[in-house]
Amino acid sequence: MKMHIKEFAKLTGVSVRTLHYYDEIGLLEPSFVDEQNGYRFYDERCLERMQEILFYRELDFPLKDIGMILSSPDYDKHSALKEQRHLLMLKKERIERLINALDGAVKGEKISMNTFDNSEYESKRDEYAREAKEKWGGTSAYKESIQKTEGYTKEKWNEVNRGMDSLMEEYAQCMKNGASPDSSEAKALVKRWQDYITENFYTCTNEILRGLGEMYVADERFKENIDRHGEGTAQFMCESISCYCSTN
């Protein structure tokens, strides 16, 4: 699926101007830009990220925080989706309550003011916002990442992402060459990966690194992204990180 920016804007309910701004600040970049005419195009991966952005916007997160949360190597998408579903179910229940009240009003029944009560949804939304900020915004790693990346331009983000892609490609090649996860070649790549995260985001301790490795196979978003370089690369990274952390 490939959509022109106007199609994507219509589908997501976000203006073209806003999409240009999101691209400018590195929050949501198009999947492809036509070099001849500058037209921006978006794919399913962009749509998935936009859905996450819109969810956090509903929770009144600043755009800078949204960008850092979604780009953080330890972002737990699965937990976020579970919370999103719960909030949507609360919205669904309220809408059904309103519809039933309208059906009753057509029959001449009185509508109770409790029908319009939205406090349960608002309370749960505020609770999740606090928990998310505490989880991703209250850690020293997150704060360090904010300080390091707050001055990053779009070009700098592109440079950092290219560096990560390059290292993933080396992981894939190492695996294709038949190296085992506990080999010296694989461990050397783990050390470079750890240093790269420390240099560009936050101090990546062995504990954090081990957690990241596990997430690379548990979270489909990360697994799919890493396996673009070769099927099984995410699993190889996870195992090599585990071997590295067990011996260092």
Q: Residue 187: which CATH number?
A: 1.10.490.50
Alpha-carbon gap, residue 108 to 99, rounded angstroms:
14
Residue with tokens 């690379």: 216
Distance CA 74, CA 137 (A): 12
Q: Which of 202, 15, 142, 38 is nearest to 28 (CA)?
A: 15
Structural domain range at position 108: 59-149
The answer to whether residue 52 is domain-embedded is no
Place of tokens 């957690």: 211
The CA-based diameter of the chain, rounded to the nearest angstrom, is: 78
Are 232 and 201 members of one domain? yes
pLDDT tens, position by position, for the chain (248 residues)?
A: 688 999 999 988 899 999 988 888 788 889 888 888 888 999 988 998 898 888 888 766 778 778 777 766 566 677 777 776 777 788 788 888 888 888 888 888 887 877 778 787 777 777 766 666 566 555 666 667 777 887 788 788 888 888 999 999 999 999 999 999 999 999 999 999 999 999 998 888 888 888 888 888 877 767 888 898 999 999 999 999 999 998 87
Instruction: State the total domains in the chain.
Output: 3
Q: Measure the CA–CA gap between 245 and 130, rounded to whole angstroms.
A: 32
Terminal-to-terminal C-alpha distance of the chain: 44
Q: Are residues 100 and 167 in the same domain?
A: no
Last residue of a domain, one of 149, 172, 205: 149
CA distances (Å), origin 7, targets 10, 41, 99: 5, 9, 31
